[in-house]
């Protein structure tokens, strides 16, 4: 008799065998691609501009916020506008992973109750969708900063590690919040307020250097404050980011990722009976 | 519970009358929330009042069940007997709390809900997503897709968003997917009873076609007539325990005597 294809046994609290889990995640990578594609297609389905909204949306947003800071602060130089746009685009990568991730498990109820698969696939798809939305805005920003006449330099390659940290952070947040939402469904309703607070607590409408030292010391607790600061240094000022910002955001990102993944993986076998 | 085996054993061959599923001393106890929609707000409001938010469900205990290839096993029992739980454990969706389950082949599951996890996407997209999630490759689904669409008789509706489907259309598509992918082991949980008379008969015939020596079928149903008609073995579950197993007519008789349901029309009526 052939060896069993699959064995299901009780699990103890803690992680599933990680090697097997990752392998089975990897064999389902086409699900993640297909899911993100059809989700994006469906979100912009039927609108006149279709996929163009992926670019239009962030552009309009940055215009609106620029109007806001212009009226309040009266400053309107091009660096300011570049900073606002660049920061807003990266912020939306994080915020889209959160809003996409929060309901990824609860909305996948039918699939979860009917099929055995690594549940982490669903929040990962949320990050991939956020990334697909982010990439066109990056192209838009490069056109914009050329028009604004901002300098270019080799230091801008620091954008790569900053984006990688942002992706790790977005993934960790999506995984963590999707898991929390299974147990407390109203997290999804709180989320808009949380992302809004995060928007104002982060150096987007203002610059990190505008804050007093006292306020800045509180911002240590904001996971994305120094991430956005580093991003602005690289993308707007074409400088290398200071190491503190890079390290701060990396430590936050890895911490959220590890905590989120641990919670998720140790509880995902419970999801089917909780939905 | 990690790998659903659809992808890795489509080509495997197994001995006729070999073991397909072996359920050994399986017990399942789980904690679930009492509220349909547990919220942080409700949790905070009842803080210190000693209100319970979760309850422990003893769904299965000490279940032993071997299913061999060539068997069509009917699973019967009253509501809450643990039938669906047992199906979820066999298909790896919920891990058992005790015991061990061995599955020797690819499993296709048609549990109560079927496909269609994202109602705003088309039937086609949902079929692909369901298949990919189950571990099939895109090429495998491509190969089967036309047959699935044909069997479901949905016509052009296959490219309409699933939120526009009626519940019968949902059920037809779900059944078509599960019954077309040619699994080694097919698990159907109370999904035969939806759909109109024509489709009901068609799916029943399909089930009969699938009864081959190198396949195992597990049907969960309340329709005794169907079970007696299709199955060559019946297992009866009551409150999480296996009460009897064996010849369909005998087990159904025992079950009827136990529940006093008699051979009434209501119990026979539906598929």
State whether B96 and A10 contact (CB < 8 Å).
Answer: yes
Average pLDDT over residues B195-222: 85
Q: Hey, is the C-beta of B270 within 8 angstroms of any chain A C-beta?
A: no
Q: Hey, is the C-beta of B11 within 8 angstroms of any chain A C-beta?
A: no
Per-residue pLDDT reduced to its tens digit, B96-140: 888 999 988 888 777 655 566 788 888 898 888 888 888 888 998
Average pLDDT over residues A23-34: 91
Q: How confident is the model at residue A45 (pLDDT cuts 50, 70, 90)?
A: low
Q: Please give, rounded to a whole number of angstroms, the shortest distance from the CA of A269 to a CA of chain B.
A: 6
**Which pLDDT belongs to residue B262?**
52
pLDDT at B235 over 90: yes
Asked if A167 and A173 touch (Cβ cutoff 8 Å), the reply is no
Average pLDDT over residues B26-52: 83
Q: Is residue B141 part of a domain?
A: yes
State whether A6 and B18 contact (CB < 8 Å).
Answer: no
**Which pLDDT belongs to residue B5?**
39
What is the number of domains present in chain B?
A: 1
**Which pLDDT belongs to residue A102?**
95
pLDDT at B229 over 80: yes
pLDDT at B9 over 80: no
Q: How confident is the model at residue A170 (pLDDT cuts 50, 70, 90)?
A: very high
Asked if B168 and A70 touch (Cβ cutoff 8 Å), the reply is no
Average pLDDT over all residues of chain B = 82
pLDDT at B15 over 70: no
Lowest mean pLDDT among A84-88, B41-45, B111-115, B212-216: B111-115
State whether B91 and A116 contact (CB < 8 Å).
Answer: yes
pLDDT at A4 over 90: no
Lowest mean pLDDT among A64-73, B68-77, B217-226: A64-73
Q: How confident is the model at residue B48 (pLDDT cuts 50, 70, 90)?
A: confident
Average pLDDT over all residues of chain A = 88
State whether A5 and B104 contact (CB < 8 Å).
Answer: yes
DSSP 3-state helix, strand, coil percentages of chain A (rounded to 5)? Answer: 75, 0, 20
Per-residue pLDDT reduced to its tens digit, B80-106: 888 888 998 998 888 888 899 998 888
State whether A272 and B94 contact (CB < 8 Å).
Answer: yes
Portion 64-123 of B in contact with A at CB < 8 A: 88-107, 109-118, 120-121
DSSP 3-state helix, strand, coil percentages of chain B (rounded to 5)? Answer: 35, 25, 40
In this structure, what CATH number is given to the domain that contains residue B159?
3.40.50.300
Q: Please give, rounded to a whole number of angstroms, the shortest distance from the CA of A33 to a CA of chain B.
A: 10
Mutation for testing the B interface, residue in A3, A18, A273, A275 having most B CBs under 10 Å: A273
Q: Is residue B222 part of a domain?
A: yes
State whether B1 and A184 contact (CB < 8 Å).
Answer: no
Average pLDDT over residues B16-29: 86
Percent of chain B residues topping a pLDDT of 90: 17
Asked if A150 and A79 touch (Cβ cutoff 8 Å), the reply is yes
Q: What are the residue boundaries of the structural domains of chain A, listed by start?
A: 18-274
pLDDT at B221 over 80: yes
Q: Please give, rounded to a whole number of angstroms, the shortest distance from the CA of B234 to a CA of chain A.
A: 23
Taking CB atoms and an 8 Å cutoff, what residues of chain B touch A31? 129, 132-133
Per-residue pLDDT reduced to its tens digit, B241-263: 999 999 999 999 999 888 875 55
**Which pLDDT belongs to residue B12?**
45
**Which pLDDT belongs to residue B271?**
44
**Which pLDDT belongs to residue A172?**
97
Average pLDDT over residues B49-77: 88
Q: Alpha carbon B175 to chain centroid distance?
A: 11
State whether A6 and B30 contact (CB < 8 Å).
Answer: no
Q: How confident is the model at residue B264 (pLDDT cuts 50, 70, 90)?
A: low
Q: Is residue B37 part of a domain?
A: no
Q: How confident is the model at residue A109 (pLDDT cuts 50, 70, 90)?
A: confident
| Among candidates A6, A16, A34 on the partner chain, residue whose Cβ is nearest the Cβ of B103 | A6
Average pLDDT over residues A258-270: 91
**Which pLDDT belongs to residue A67?**
85
Q: Report which of B215, B216, B234 is spatially closest to residue B226, judged by C-alpha positions.
A: B234
Please report where in the chains the tokens 């058992």 appear, as a residue. Answer: B96
pLDDT at B4 over 50: no
Q: How confident is the model at residue A160 (pLDDT cuts 50, 70, 90)?
A: very high
Percent of chain B residues topping a pLDDT of 70: 85
Taking CB atoms and an 8 Å cutoff, what residues of chain B touch A16? 1-2
pLDDT at A140 over 80: yes
Q: pTM for this structure? A: 0.88
Distance CA A265, CA A18 (A): 9
**Which pLDDT belongs to residue A201?**
94
Q: Hey, is the C-beta of B19 within 8 angstroms of any chain A C-beta?
A: yes
State whether B138 and A30 contact (CB < 8 Å).
Answer: yes
pLDDT at A49 over 80: no
Question: B198-202: long-range contacts (C-beta < 8 A, 24 or more apart)?
Answer: B199/B153, B199/B168, B199/B172, B199/B175, B200/B271, B202/B151
Per-residue pLDDT reduced to its tens digit, A190-248: 999 999 999 999 999 888 888 888 888 889 999 999 999 999 999 999 999 999 999 99
- Whole-angstrom CA distances from B11 to B5, B106, B153, B182 are 11, 10, 28, 11
Q: Which two tokens stand for residue A105?
A: 């498990």
CB pairs under 8 A between A and B: 170
State whether B3 and A6 contact (CB < 8 Å).
Answer: yes
Taking CB atoms and an 8 Å cutoff, what residues of chain B touch A112? 93
Identify the residue with better confidence: A126 or B13.
A126
Lowest mean pLDDT among A35-49, B6-20, B75-89, B160-174: B6-20
pLDDT at B8 over 50: no
Q: Report which of A164, A171, A172 is spatially closest to residue A125, judged by C-alpha positions.
A: A171
- Whole-angstrom CA distances from B115 to A77, A108, A270 are 54, 11, 21
State whether B2 and A112 contact (CB < 8 Å).
Answer: no
Portion 138-167 of B in contact with A at CB < 8 A: 138
User: Which residue in B has a C-alpha nearest to residue A37's C-alpha?
Assistant: B125
Q: Is residue B250 part of a domain?
A: yes
Per-residue pLDDT reduced to its tens digit, B145-193: 999 899 888 889 999 988 898 888 888 888 888 778 778 888 888 766 6
State whether B2 and A185 contact (CB < 8 Å).
Answer: no
**Which pLDDT belongs to residue A250?**
97
Taking CB atoms and an 8 Å cutoff, what residues of chain B touch A266? none
**Which pLDDT belongs to residue B36?**
77
Maximum average pLDDT range among A77-86, A117-126, B129-138, B198-207: A117-126
Q: How confident is the model at residue A1 (pLDDT cuts 50, 70, 90)?
A: very low
């Amino acid at each position: 008799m052939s060896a069993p294809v699959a064995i299901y046994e009780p699990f103890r609290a803690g992680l599933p065998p990680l090697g097997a889990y990752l392998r089975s995640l990897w064999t389902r990578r086409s699900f993640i691609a297909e899911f993100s594609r059809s989700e994006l297609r469906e979100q912009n389905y039927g609108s006149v501009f279709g996929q163009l909204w992926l670019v239009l949306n962030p552009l309009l947003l940055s215009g609106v916020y620029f109007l806001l800071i212009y009226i309040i602060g009266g400053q309107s130089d091009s660096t300011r506008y570049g900073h606002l746009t660049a920061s807003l685009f990266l912020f939306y990568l994080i915020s889209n992973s959160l809003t996409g991730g929060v309901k990824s498990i609860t909305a996948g109820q039918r699939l979860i109750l009917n099929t055995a698969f690594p549940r982490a696939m669903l929040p990962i798809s949320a990050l991939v969708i956020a990334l697909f939305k982010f990439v066109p805005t990056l192209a838009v920003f490069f056109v914009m900063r050329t028009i604004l006449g901002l300098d270019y330099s080799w230091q801008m390659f620091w954008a790569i590690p900053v984006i990688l940290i942002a992706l790790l952070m977005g993934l960790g947040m999506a995984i963590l919040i999707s898991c929390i939402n299974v147990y407390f469904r109203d997290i999804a309703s709180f989320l808009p307020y949380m992302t809004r607070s995060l928007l104002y607590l982060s150096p987007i409408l203002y610059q990190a250097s505008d804050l007093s030292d006292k306020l800045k010391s509180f911002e240590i607790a904001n996971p994305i404050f120094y991430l956005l600061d580093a991003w602005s240094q690289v993308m707007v000022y074409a400088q290398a980011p200071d190491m503190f910002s890079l390290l701060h955001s990396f430590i936050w990102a890895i911490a959220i990722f590890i905590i989120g993944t641990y919670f998720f993986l140790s509880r995902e076998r419970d999801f089917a009976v909780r939905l | 519970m990690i790998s659903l085996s659809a992808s890795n054993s489509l080509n495997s061959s197994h001995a006729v009358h070999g073991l397909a599923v072996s359920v050994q001393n399986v017990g399942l106890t789980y904690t679930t929330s009492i509220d349909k929609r547990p919220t942080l707000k409700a949790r905070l409001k009842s803080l210190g009042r000693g209100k319970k938010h979760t309850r422990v469900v003893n769904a299965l205990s000490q279940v032993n069940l071997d299913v061999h290839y060539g068997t069509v096993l009917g699973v019967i029992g009253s509501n809450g007997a643990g039938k669906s739980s047992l199906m979820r454990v066999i298909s790896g969706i919920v891990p058992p709390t005790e015991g061990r389950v061995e599955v020797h082949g690819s499993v296709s599951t048609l549990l109560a809900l079927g496909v269609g996890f994202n109602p705003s996407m088309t039937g086609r997209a949902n079929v692909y997503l369901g298949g990919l999630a189950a571990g099939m490759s895109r090429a495998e689904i491509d190969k089967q897709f036309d047959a699935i669409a044909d069997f479901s008789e949905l016509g052009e509706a296959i490219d309409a968003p699933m939120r526009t489907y009626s519940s019968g259309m949902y059920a037809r598509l779900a059944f078509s997917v599960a019954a077309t992918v040619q699994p080694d082991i097919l698990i159907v949980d109370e999904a035969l009873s939806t759909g109109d008379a024509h489709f009901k008969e068609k799916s029943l015939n399909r089930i009969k076609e699938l009864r081959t020596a190198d396949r195992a079928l597990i049907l969960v149903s309340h329709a005794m007539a169907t079970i007696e008609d299709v199955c060559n073995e019946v297992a009866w579950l009551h409150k999480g325990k296996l009460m009897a197993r064996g010849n369909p007519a005998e087990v159904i008789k025992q079950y009827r005597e136990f529940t006093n349901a008699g051979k009434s029309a209501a119990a026979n009526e539906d598929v």
